[in-house]
Chains A and B, each alone.
Chain A
């Protein structure tokens, strides 16, 4: 079955870096755009970043532009989020999600369980 599993979260000091991974299985990873979405404690969902199936196009929320980089390794079915210069306001559960594509309105049908990133000194 379709599955995505995030990893790499943890506690990190402000200004430091962290890389999240998302391993996909049960579908043709290289055929789907992928997204990162985050949720701060007790808050709503915030879209973070998008990468096209072939990795040629990437888009970011203004709140992370210039600090975060989304990438993917299609042969190994893995999505990444490199997070640099972390701030306290980046503290959140980070989810990766599969994009169903144009015919399904670019909706997100498969989500991981999330990985918690805590930025604190």
Chain B
């Protein structure tokens, strides 16, 4: 099975800061890497698919990059509504494993 490792597990940043979350796969997954945002008590929401494609309706401040084993999710200017937990997920092969999550808090 492919293991997904996210870092950091949590972070605290100020409104307007640039935030970067990294995700590493235990083997190459090409660009089969997706990012989700989850707020407390809510279902996950797709942000980025295929490593760098922005899902319809997601603010342009979110971006993704990477291929192979190393990926990043960036928020260009952190907003209060971005406070959430973010998960990466590989969809290269079943089981479609998730990272452990990164909790983003606003200072």
Chain A residues at the B interface, C-beta cutoff of 8 Å: 35, 37, 44-47, 50, 59-62, 95, 100, 104-109, 111-114
Taking CB atoms, residues of chain A closer than 8 Å to B1 are 62
B97 → chain A closest CB, angstroms: 6
Taking CB atoms, residues of chain B closer than 8 Å to A62 are 1, 95
The 6 nearest A-B residue pairs measured at CB: A105-B50, A107-B49, A59-B94, A106-B91, A111-B43, A107-B34
| A107 closest partner in B (C-beta) | B49
Taking CB atoms, residues of chain A closer than 8 Å to B51 are 105
User: Would you give 26 A-B contacts (Cβ < 8 Å), ordered by A?
Assistant: A37-B44, A44-B85, A44-B87, A44-B98, A44-B99, A45-B38, A45-B89, A47-B97, A59-B94, A62-B95, A95-B44, A104-B53, A105-B31, A105-B32, A105-B49, A105-B50, A106-B34, A106-B96, A107-B46, A107-B49, A107-B91, A108-B34, A108-B36, A108-B44, A108-B46, A111-B44
Asked if residues A114 and B101 are in contact (CB atoms below 8 Å), the reply is no
Taking CB atoms, residues of chain A closer than 8 Å to B100 are 44
| Interface membership of B33, Cβ < 8 A | yes
B38 → chain A closest CB, angstroms: 8
Chain B residues at the A interface, C-beta cutoff of 8 Å: 1, 31-34, 36, 38, 43-46, 49-51, 53, 55, 85, 87, 89, 91, 94-101
Taking CB atoms, residues of chain A closer than 8 Å to B97 are 47
The number of inter-chain residue pairs (CB within 8 angstroms) is: 70
| B38 closest partner in A (C-beta) | A45
Query: Besides the contacts A62-B95, A107-B46, what 7 more A-B pairs have beta carbons closer than 8 Å?
Result: A44-B100, A59-B95, A95-B44, A100-B49, A104-B49, A108-B36, A109-B49
| B46 closest partner in A (C-beta) | A109
Asked if residues A95 and B94 are in contact (CB atoms below 8 Å), the reply is no
Asked if residues B95 and A107 are in contact (CB atoms below 8 Å), the reply is no
Q: A106 to B49, alpha carbons, bound, how many Å?
A: 8
Q: Known interface pairs A61-B95, A95-B43. Does A44 touch B101 (Cβ–Cβ under 8 Å)? A: yes
Asked if residues A50 and B94 are in contact (CB atoms below 8 Å), the reply is yes
Asked if residues A105 and B87 are in contact (CB atoms below 8 Å), the reply is no
Q: A105 to B64, alpha carbons, bound, how many Å?
A: 13
Taking CB atoms, residues of chain A closer than 8 Å to B94 are 50, 59
